Structure 1
């Protein structure tokens, strides 16, 4: 397994550089219409209106953000309740909140669901919240396939474009997105719903810039991550391969798989019903096992749409924190650390500096990324009151927060109750 992971990392870099393939050719299509669609195409396929927004950060990165507009509520003259940001996790994108089921069409659920089967129609979080009257915004973190633009740097020609990790997402992306949305909507605060790395960004931001506590009400952390010392996903074993972390540091660059290969896998392999359980097991290997709540018929969509990509340094940063056993900034080595931080070791994000009392932790017992032991470390680090919601399903895993069959009852309905307290 470990050698395979190393091979994939190296092969991907070589394939992209040699072939130049960065898009799916016209001849490849999937029997599932959600495969290969852009975020806006997905949103519009459910009869919502999609707005594309581009947020430029102070260091020149251009963050692509999709806004979901409910035309039924708009036509009725109903104002949205408040902005809600949905922030994806590591390797993810805004698409993660759009493809859990084929349902989720534009409707008005503000006075109840009527004849709609919400357990099916509500599985995609973005559509679910929009149908209940929320103004949904979905940023794509720098370096994923939808946010590969910069005011000066070319991601295909300038290696420095990829010398980024979640440090920059904390320092630049998150505050830029928050300020942009508040300016556009006229609201004083917004809700932030993060998944995995999408939670880490706000834990980091609130520790570095406590003033953002007044702008984020509430912060709902699904599968909350700050510390990753006890992560049990095979990703942790990448840190034990001699020389691999050094390779990632020196090589840098983009870390993804060519979209044409993902679509080939989705259509020609995982699109075959007899193979779908095996394809699902590959996801379980990395993200945790919960076959009962996994919709195997969506496997081709998950393969086609699931990998948004990131920088090699971002994954390396997680590896460093596994080894260093802390929520630390990027480790450049003693000399560069001293130049950047004034210390030979990378400094820690001080979770004790967080002042927000509007934090909600949504955790589960079977999460291989947000390990319960690490979540307990997070709890103890917070010096302010917070709310905790534990998923009742003991098999609920990391990806279940966005893709489980019972996600409406386990996550979305409780989340709606939480949001109503901050209207």
Structure 2
């Protein structure tokens, strides 16, 4: 795909780095290689520009994991969560998952080896990418326990990570899960995009199987380019925001009032494997948080059963804090019962805004008062060591 031409990848990378530099924060860049050969870029903000005199101080590390079709820029552009945490005295790490424009492979080329390179869902992100990020941060900081914050697919991947690699629970001081996308079909008939995906993704799967292979989520590059060139005008901004709200929940223009669409669309949407979308729809259709369904024959070979097994969330024993929006289409805080499924939910927070939706976790102008202050308060109760 054209987004993987080197000039485009480098342009997106430079844009992200410039965002950090423009805000006056120090940054570092690392490459993290997973067990199965993906090379993922991770950025770091080691300290805040507000307390440079103490830049040799040992700070507790926190990993911020982005959602599907995003990259680490979502924590830097509008939400500014990375800067907020750095200002609060944290060592902030910003990984980019496999499949983003910040990812490559030790031997596979994303354009020449499409079948193999894009053969993953969010299961592999949780099983391979997150453990590699966690181990890397622990090795470079000397801390034995670190914080994890994930949004959307970042919460899904964490549920895979902590249930499928339960030994890693000992390495997490606290996970803060924002806008959980785990094991619920409670709202798929209520909102536009989920219903659209519920109907449209099987159609894509038919094309994928019988006409031509689809490897990446379609239209991401087109949406990014369109938003960049149309979002400058008031009408263009409004129309683009309606599209975003279609993918996030009912419109919340109040919280999006200061949203800089032009800056956001320089890096988002990013790129993801189509299997990530397929996997979500499988979960929605079953109403259960299961592994990827390859079909009865392949399931039998891979799992020993014709049906994909369900993830055992009771194995997530590390402390978990859940953060919800009342207007979030991807979960229903009154019905998902994650506090019963995870073994150790220590805190539940519902943003005090009736219209707070899935994208508001990234763009809301009142994030500090609605979310971040409470997040840091609970983090300080579960100290990284």
Give the whole-Å Cα distance in 1 for the aligned partners of 2:20 and 2:175.
24
Write the deviation string for residues 119-177 of structure 1: whole angstroms up to 9, x where unpaired: xxxx5000111112100001111101212x10111101112100100111111111111
Please say if 1:243 is aligned against 2:203.
yes
State the match for 1:225 in structure 2: 181
The answer to whether structure 1 residue 90 and structure 2 residue 68 are counterparts is: yes
Q: CA 1:23–1:291 in structure 2 vs 1: closer, same or farther (change >3 Å)?
A: farther
- Hey, what's the Cα distance between the residues in 2 that align with 1:25 and 1:94? 14
Is 1:309 the counterpart of 2:267 in the alignment?
no
Q: Could you tell me how far 1:407 is from its partner in structure 2?
A: 0.7
CA distance in structure 2 between the partners assigned to 1:229 and 1:393 by the alignment: 23
In the alignment, what sits opposite 1:111? none
Secondary structure class of the residue paired with 2:247 = helix
Q: Matched residues in 1 for 2:92 and 2:207: separation? A: 39
- Cα 1:203/1:22, change in 2 over 3 Å: same
TM-score normalised per structure 2: 0.90
- CA deviation vs aligned residue, 1:182-237 (integer Å, no higher than 9, x gap): 01110011000111110111112221222211111110111122113124441343
User: In 1, distance between residues paired with 2:116 and 2:309?
Assistant: 23
Shift of 1:341: 0.9
Kindly indicate whether the alpha-carbon contact (under 8 Å) linking 1:162 and 1:252 is maintained by their aligned counterparts in 2: no
- Partners of 1:273 and 1:243 in 2: how far apart? 35
Match of 1:141 in 2: 97
Alignment of 1:73-112 (within 5 A): 73-100=51-78
Displacement of 1:45 after TM fit?
1.6
What secondary structure, in the 3-state scheme, does the structure 1 residue paired with 2:265 have?
A: helix
Conserved? CA contact 1:263–1:304, under 8 Å: yes
What does residue range 167-186 of structure 1 map to in structure 2 within 5 Å? Answer: 167-186=123-142
Which position in structure 2 is the counterpart of 1:48?
25
What is the TM-score of this pair, normalised by structure 1? Answer: 0.82
- Cα separation, 1, equivalents of 2:267 and 2:214: 24
Cα RMSD of the aligned pairs, angstroms, is 2.5
Alignment of 1:335-414 (within 5 A): 335-356=297-318, 358-372=319-333, 375-376=336-337, 378-414=338-374
Indicate if the aligned counterparts of 1:91 and 1:144 stay in contact, CA closer than 8 A.
yes
Alignment match, 2:41:
64
Is the Cα contact below 8 Å between 2:60 and 2:91 reproduced in 1? yes
**Aligned residue number for residue 154 of structure 1:** 109
Change (3 A) 1:129 1:80: farther
**How far apart, in 1, do the equivalents of 2:123 and 2:328 lie?**
24
Residues 59/281 of structure 1: CA separation in 2 closer, same or farther (3 Å cut): same
Aligned-partner Cα distance in 2 for 1:324–1:370: 15
2:142 is the counterpart of 1:164: no
How many aligned positions are there? 374
Match in the other structure for 1:107? none
Q: Does 1:279 align with 2:254?
A: no
Shift of 1:240: 2.1
In structure 2, the residue matched to 1:120 is none
Displacement after TM superposition at 1:400 (Å)? 0.8
Q: Distance in 1 between matches of 2:187 and 2:14?
A: 32
SS state of the match for residue 19, structure 2? helix
Cα 1:47–1:383, aligned 2, differ >3 Å: closer, same or farther?
A: closer
SS at 1:144's partner residue? coil
**2:143 aligned with 1:187, yes or no?**
yes
Residue aligned with 1:282, SS: helix
